[in-house]
Amino acid sequence: MRASIVSAVVLFLAATSSATAFDARDLEKLTSNSSCGGCDLRGAKLQSMDLKEAYLKGANLRDSVLKQINLSDANLIETDMRRSDLEKATLVSADLEYAILQDADLEKALLTNANLRRTDLRGADLDSASVEGGKFQEADIRKANFKRANLSQANFSDAKVTDVNFKRATMIGAIMTKAELNNANFTRADLTDARLDEADLRHTNFYRANLRNTVLSGSRLSNATFWGADLSGANLRDANGLEQEQLDVACGSRETVLPKNLSIRDCGA
C-alpha cells in the first residue's frame, strides 16, 4: 500500500511539473527569430529581452517573468499571459486582442496605443501604467487596478469595468460610452472632456474628481458619490437616478447641463 501511495505522489508531481514547464524547443525558437505562434512558454523567464514586433499569437505565457521586456508592435492576439509579471514592460502599439491577462502584473508598463479589445484583464494590476490611446472596447476589466495610470484618450466603450480602481488616474478625453462602471472608484481622477454617456455608474465614487466638460448624458447615477467633484461644463442631460442630494456636495458652472428640477452651486462662488 505504501509503495502505491509513493508512486501516486511521484506521478502527481511529474504531471504538475509538466503542466507548468515551458517547452525548451519553443524557447529556442523564440529567441532565435522572435516568432513562436502557439508556443508553450509557461513560466519562462524572458525579462529585459528585446522582442519588438515578435509573433506570439496564441502562445501560452502563463506565469512567465516578462519584467522590462520590449514587446512593442508585437502580435499577442489570443496570448495567455495570466499571472505573468510584466512590470515596466514596453508594449507600445502591441496587438493584445482576445489576450488573457487575468491577475497579471503590469505596474508601470508602457502600453501607449495598445490594442486591448476584448482582452481579459480581470484583477490585473496596472498601477502607474501608461496606456494613452489604449483600445479597451468590449474588454473585461472587472476588479482591475488603474491607480495613477495615464489613460488619456483611451477607449473603454462597451467594456465591463465593474469594481475597478481609477484613483488619481489621468483620463483626459477617455471614452467610456455604455461601459459597465458600477462600483468603480474615480477618487481624484481627472476626467476632463471624457465621455461617460449611457454608462452604468451606479454606486460609483467621484470623490474630488475633475469632471469638467465630461459627458454623462443618459448615464445611470443612482447612489453615485460626487463629494467635492468639479462638474463645470459637464453634461448630465437625461441622467437616470441622479438626486439633488448628490449635487449638493459638488460644484459646477452655468454651462453645466442638469436634468429638470436639479441645481448645482457655482465652483467660483
| Three-state DSSP class for residue 140 | strand
Whole-angstrom Cα Rg for the chain: 22
Name the CA dihedral angle for 253, 254, 258, 260, rounded to a multiple of 10 degrees. 140
pLDDT band at 21 (very low <50, low <70, confident <90, very high): confident
**Phi-psi group of 67: left, alpha or beta (phi > 0 → left; psi -120 to 50 → alpha; rest → beta):** beta
User: What are the distances in angstroms from CA 114 to CA 49, 109, 151?
Assistant: 19, 11, 11
For residue 220, list its beta bridge partners: 200, 240
Distance from C-alpha of 68 to C-alpha of 75, rounded to nearest angstrom: 17
| Three-state DSSP class for residue 171 | coil
Distance from C-alpha of 102 to C-alpha of 121, rounded to nearest angstrom: 5
Distance from C-alpha of 176 to C-alpha of 134, rounded to nearest angstrom: 12
pLDDT for 224: 97
Number of Cβ within 10 Å of residue 32's Cβ equals 9
pLDDT for 20: 53
pLDDT band at 226 (very low <50, low <70, confident <90, very high): very high
pLDDT (mean) for 113-140? 98
pLDDT for 18: 41
> Contact, 21 vs 43, CB < 8 A?
yes
Q: Which grid coordinates are listed for 212?
A: 469638467
The most confident of the ranges 6-15, 34-43, 129-138 is 129-138
Which of 50 and 5 is assigned the larger pLDDT? 50
pLDDT (mean) for 112-116? 98
> Contact, 201 vs 180, CB < 8 A?
no
The chain-wide mean pLDDT, for the chain, equals: 92
> Contact, 172 vs 152, CB < 8 A?
yes
Distance from C-alpha of 219 to C-alpha of 146, rounded to nearest angstrom: 22
Residue-wise pLDDT for 169-220, tens only, equals: 999 999 999 999 999 999 999 999 999 999 999 999 999 999 999 999 999 9
User: What are the distances in angstroms from CA 82 to CA 99, 102, 151, 202, 236?
Assistant: 9, 5, 22, 29, 38
